Amino acid sequence: MKVLFTGIQPTGDLHIGNYFGAVRNWVRLQHEYISYICVVDLHALVIFNDPKTMPQRIFDMAVGLYACGIDMEKTTLFVQSEVPGHADLTWIFNTVTPLGELERMTQFKDKAQQHRKNVNAGLLDYPVLQAADILLYKGEVVPVGEDQVQHIELTREIARYFNKRYGSTFPECEALLTETPRIMGLDGDQKMSKSKGNTIGLIEDKEEIWKKLSVAKTDPARIRRNDPGTPEKCNIYSYHKLITPETELAEIHQGCSTAAIGCIDCKKILFKNLMAELDPIRNKYHALTAKPKEVHELLAENAKKCTLQAKKTILEVKEKMGLKPVWKI
């Protein structure tokens, strides 16, 4: 079986963009690959981080992923900072990564714009740490949303640069996208993202979700109740496509095009279907938060397992680079 590796930042609660764009796929794929999922707390440090809330955010992310269906036995879910090799391999990769490659990364350019007062070296180096995450476990398949594809391409190049200089060591990984690799936010203008405040959270209060949905953007042509619309131009319809069963979806398509269904009714159906999908996740989430010890122990055990694997790779890399302990010379 091939190795699958992916990561997620503990920067806030999981949202439906994460779920339908990535996490739901991780749940399916864990049966086909040796799966590693990493809560990337070191990555999260490049933007302002509150040390007081960090432990809880890490825990919540792990619980959220288990609640979505990540299998406690099949998948090795772990916390990045608990495994020392990630930072070690990042330094090594820094020495083979051209600066220009990092400077042209879209995410770096966007975040540098967004956080002008905190353009730290880590923000630029972010994709190198990501490459180290993946290649420490010799990951070959990396399921992510569309925004991460550029970083996975760079990971492949870093592997190539390293292999060329020091001999074949790392596989060339590939990104694996879902059919919906980019879920738009409630504003309908930008990708749904924790940092943009345009999300529907998986475990968010139901009333809060409805409040957000009821004012969310629809097809601008539907100004009055009787104005027909074009479903393909409506963000709410794009959410329907994620969860609404086929026959109901066809009815909504027809209803929107002929003005037989108003936007509020369309949103009510979406809300009903969304809750049906999210209810089991929410229940599992609450059940797991009541058993923090079990989750903590599992994360510690998984970090131990990853540390062994990481050590193996680092040793191989060091040997290839001539970094042998003096007693071996």
Instruction: Identify residue 214 by its one-letter amino acid code.
Output: S
Using the rule CB under 6 A, is 241 a contact of ligand ADP?
no
| Among positions 3, 5, 18, 64, the unique one binding ligand ADP when judged by CB under 6 A | 18
| Among positions 25, 75, 80, 148, the unique one binding ligand ADP when judged by CB under 6 A | 148
CB of 183 to ligand ADP, least distance (A): 4
Q: What is the C-alpha separation between 111 and 106, in angstroms, rounded?
A: 9
Helix, strand or coil, per DSSP, at residue 97: coil
| Among positions 60, 82, 125, 133, the unique one binding ligand TRP when judged by CB under 6 A | 133
Q: What is the C-alpha separation between 317 and 323, in angstroms, rounded?
A: 8
| Helical packing angle, 85-94 and 292-320, nearest 10° | 40
Q: Are 16 and 183 in contact (CB under 8 A)?
A: yes
Q: Are 38 and 6 in contact (CB under 8 A)?
A: yes
| Helical packing angle, 121-136 and 106-114, nearest 10° | 140
Q: What is the C-alpha separation between 195 and 205, in angstroms, rounded?
A: 19
Using the rule CB under 6 A, is 9 a contact of ligand TRP?
yes
| Among positions 4, 8, 176, 270, the unique one binding ligand ADP when judged by CB under 6 A | 8
Chosen from ligand TRP, ligand ADP, none, partner binding at 142 (C-beta under 5 to 8 Å by type): ligand TRP
Q: Among residues 2, 74, 109, 194, which one is catalytic?
A: 194
Q: Is 318 a catalytic residue?
A: no
Using the rule CB under 6 A, is 144 a contact of ligand ADP?
yes
Using the rule CB under 6 A, is 229 a contact of ligand ADP?
no
Q: What is the C-alpha separation between 178 and 182, in angstroms, rounded?
A: 9
Q: Which residue is nearest to ligand ADP (CB)?
A: 21
The piece of 2-10, 114-122, 199-207, 262-270 that touches ligand TRP (CB under 6 A) is 2-10
For ligand ADP, what does the binding mask look like between residues 168 and 207, x meaning CB under 6 A?
Answer: -------------xxx-------xxxxx------------
The piece of 27-35, 144-152, 235-243, 270-278 that touches ligand TRP (CB under 6 A) is 144-152
Locus of tokens 């503990």: 10
Q: What is the C-alpha separation between 29 and 310, in angstroms, rounded?
A: 23
Radius of gyration of the chain (CA): 22
Q: Which residues are at the interface with ligand ADP (CB under 6 A)?
A: 8-9, 11, 17-18, 21-22, 144-145, 147-148, 181-183, 191-195
